[in-house]
Structure 1
């Protein structure tokens, strides 16, 4: 799992918007120093977990959590500080295959951010929630619950590209003040969810044709409802069109369309070519 919404391309992009739209409105001075401390400690713990240094990661989380437990409860600042912890420790549990605890902390993050949306009107946090729902899809895949992982992935992609509710709790609208940033986040997160999904399908041994047929039907419907507004979105739409043409019995048409896309497209997302060639 990943904890940053724009992590495939640039964590700095996401962090910059978060700092402006959320952090600067709930913290200043010593409060910002607190945020920096917890973000640093829990990020270090996360990095240790990613590096398979599990015991060290556990100790680092415990150090941060002990101090966090002494903070004043119930404030918006405390919610922000707590959410420094939830997604990162969820990853540790994910690595330990303690999926129920990973799921619990992921839901805690989603609910915490919903509280901030309600109390402060931080619409940007819908992207944080979407990221955490994607982490839930990853948990489904890790538990071999492919059907639920795919269903949730479809709903997230639909929400991101149509800006319409797809039946996922708390994901009801996207309304950022800067349209260009909104477009970047919507596209980046769509690629992130879609790349993960395509990777799962490419590794499948059973029922591949059934799930690919489901994907094609979904993409064909999605393309009709995705209204593009710039070159980035146009490229993404063409990417969807390429994958809607997958045919396991005759890959030549897909390969030709994919090669044309790779040769002519602008503003391609990182790793696009690698993902496309999973189905050559």
Structure 2
């Protein structure tokens, strides 16, 4: 049995915590909402209210610091699964909000029992260049969230007090979450010939489990299902399958050809994707 802390029990973190508990592990789970604490507790997760908001470089209160220390206590593995939400009081602010949260967290990790960190990142760090992408590809983010993810990755990997594995997921889908629901009926959509780079929630969870079981640390993995039909083909078929209005694409707006490879996941972890979910 391992003691694991999951920072961010949201869409992925919550079912991940449940899966790890079912495998016999003890899990500390964090949330930023007091209302969610009872939900975590009822699922067998040790619940913690953890906020990483800073005021002039310091946490807002001693109780917040105490919560983080207790949340990390006795755990060897920390999974960081918090999205880079960049909204600030000043919408024109260029402050690295997400990066600052990681900077706030790192000193707590350093003085804790944590020896292994798994950081959930995104293939958005590669931008939308027309190319085949693997783990050797140098990140070239185009979005602010992608830029902050790269900075956060570097902060964690450069720290010698713990070992960090970076897991870059493609577009996330699941039984309750699918982009075709937002695309249905829309017209003049861009990039009909662009290949999809998606990963199902179930694969996300199983890959994280395998990294922990096989102790694959100080690594970088891309995690995208080896299934890359075009956007037009895939979302049209999905709309039909889900009885939704078919989206309409514009061939005049097509320039992305990015294919993200998961060959390293498949070979190094000996992992097989659940393609029936797609």
Shorter chain as denominator, the TM-score bin is 0.3 to 0.5
Higher-strand-fraction structure: 2
Structure of greater relative contact order (alpha carbons < 8 Å, 6+ residues apart): 2
TM-score, length-normalised on structure 2? 0.33
Higher-helix-fraction structure: 1
TM-score, length-normalised on structure 1? 0.33
